[in-house]
Amino acid sequence: MGERHRIIKQHLSREHRALLKPEFMLLTTAKRRSSSHKVAIANNFTHSMPGAMGSLNWLYSVCALGSILLPYLLFRKLCSMENLVYLVPIVFFAGIVRGYAGFGFAVIAVIGLNLFLDPIKSVPIVLALDFICSISLIREATKHADKKTFRILASGSILGIPIGLLLLYLLPAIWLKLAICSFVLILVMLLIKKAKPSQNDSFGKKLLTGVASGVGTSSASIGGPMILYYILSSPLNVRAQRATMILFFIVSELVALIGLGLSQSSSNEVYLAIACLLVPTMIGVKIGQFFFNKRPPTSFKSISLPLMVLVAVVGFSQAFRSM
């Protein structure tokens, strides 16, 4: 019985091998053709390799040369810039204040840079630095900001810009700046007198604050103190105050940059100064943000009040010098 099964198994296996043999041969032939095709492609690639490798080597050489020359040329240009050693600590300190409080960079940096640069150069440099570095604060600001307050303040500021331009056309610029600086000092005294935040946080108050900021920005480049006064006297908590101011000043700086770009052309020195001062500014912003997250203040009055007084004093001095 076992012998019979063995013979049947052998017979079936031989038939199966006979049936499968043509398919096996076809598969083997296809594999051989595929292998020969791959060999041909490899040979063609090998023959074309010297030209391709030569082009790649030339490209690598150009990139390597550029990576050496560009830093060298930038270093030469940096060394030729005057007063760079004084500008770096100014923007670094202003960045720390901006990252911690959410405001104050433009005031500190403009006043500091005006000691060494012309205002026509320092203003676009400061606005560009503040706007670029503020982008890194957007994610955190959008989480904690009062979106409704931000939208009303921004809308009011946009409405106030043409009003300020109209006042600038109707009134002398010097007297307009003196009036706005006096108004800023009045706001400072109101903040000092007011011990507790106001609970009357109405739509009209927010809109009027935004309009006043737009008027001050377009007529005398002084619009921040109005926003500071409202935010510090509002019932918002410290984290929401900071986040809302960050969003507002990002929008206002973007509008100011667009206006500067349309009204005047920037020189290569301005772009180079932005590139040089961007890193220390960003480091300062990150440090200020770290300290705020680690130990937020109970109130921003200790920072905002001196800055508002400084803005008013500088505005008065500029107006009196122009008389």
Going by pLDDT thresholds of 50, 70 and 90, the confidence category of residue 52 is very low
Q: Which residue has the higher pLDDT, 48 or 181?
A: 181
pLDDT band at 28 (very low <50, low <70, confident <90, very high): very low
Question: 139 and 68 in one domain?
Answer: no
Residues 221 and 106 occupy one common structural domain: yes
Q: Is the pLDDT of residue 26 over 60?
A: no
CA distance 287 to 296: 13
Is 163's pLDDT higher than 60? yes
Q: Are residues 21 and 159 in the same domain?
A: no
Structure tokens at 171: 């009134």
100 with 10, same domain: the answer is no
Cβ 131 vs Cβ 257: under 8 Å: yes
Report pLDDT for 247.
92
Residues 73, 90, single domain; the answer is no
Max Cα–Cα distance, the chain, nearest Å: 128
pTM (whole model) above 0.85: no
Q: CB neighbours of 158 closer than 8 A, spacing ≥ 6?
A: 210, 214, 255
**In a shared domain, residues 32 and 153:** no
Together in a domain, 115 and 19: no
pLDDT in tens, 284-293: 999 999 999 9
Residues 310 and 192 in one domain: yes
User: Which of 45, 80, 115 corresponds to the end of one domain?
Assistant: 80
Average pLDDT of the chain, as a whole number: 76
Q: What whole-number distance in Å separates Cα of residue 178 and Cα of residue 229?
A: 19
Take residue 32 and report the two structure tokens written for it. Answer: 């051989």
Mean pLDDT of 242-256: 88
| Containing structural domain, residue 205 | 84-322
Q: Are residues 178 and 299 in the same domain?
A: yes
Q: Which residue has the higher pLDDT, 246 or 63?
A: 246
Tell whether 76 and 117 lie within a shared domain.
no
> How many domains would you assign to the chain?
2
Does 131 share its domain with 41?
Answer: no
Q: Does residue 18 surpass a pLDDT of 70?
A: no
High-pLDDT (> 90) share of the chain, %: 18
Q: Which of 80, 98, 133 is the last residue of a domain?
A: 80
Final residue belonging to a domain, choices 60, 80, 100: 80
75 and 169 share a domain? Answer: no
Is the pLDDT confidence value at 24 over 50?
Answer: no
Band (264; pLDDT cuts 50, 70, 90): low
DSSP E strand boundaries for the chain: none
